[in-house]
Amino acid sequence: MLALKLSIFSEKEAFSNLTLSKPLFLIQTNANNIRPQIPMSESDLFAGIMGDIGAEYSFTQSLGLSLSYSYNIDWVSSKFYNDKLLMNSLINIGLVMRFNKNKYFYY
């Protein structure tokens, strides 16, 4: 049995928190040896959208194979990221194992 899965677009929101033990870069100055304040922590909210398409093939009722492809776009606004837009593409291949049979209850 072949089952297809399609999720055109779904939105996502997440919270990220980053705390550094050492600065990412060190600024050296010549005038009076005064160094600017370097941020060591950041908390941000980022948002994005993702699309997903996949298929699942069942060999038996308890064993199958899964294949899916997803594409993610995230918009980030942070001091620690040079980019404002992050994009990634994923291919997932998996083995599906069901440990109990499908049971139907009628009331």
pLDDT (tens digit, 0 to 9) for every residue of the chain, 107 residues total? 777 777 677 788 888 787 888 877 777 776 666 666 777 788 887 888 888 888 889 888 788 899 999 998 988 877 777 778 889 999 999 998 888 766 666 66
| pTM, rounded to two decimals | 0.59
Separation between Cα atoms, residue 96 and residue 68, nearest integer Å: 13
CA distance from start to end of the chain: 28
Structure tokens at 56: 């699942």
Q: HSE-up of 79 (CA within 13 Å, CB side)?
A: 13
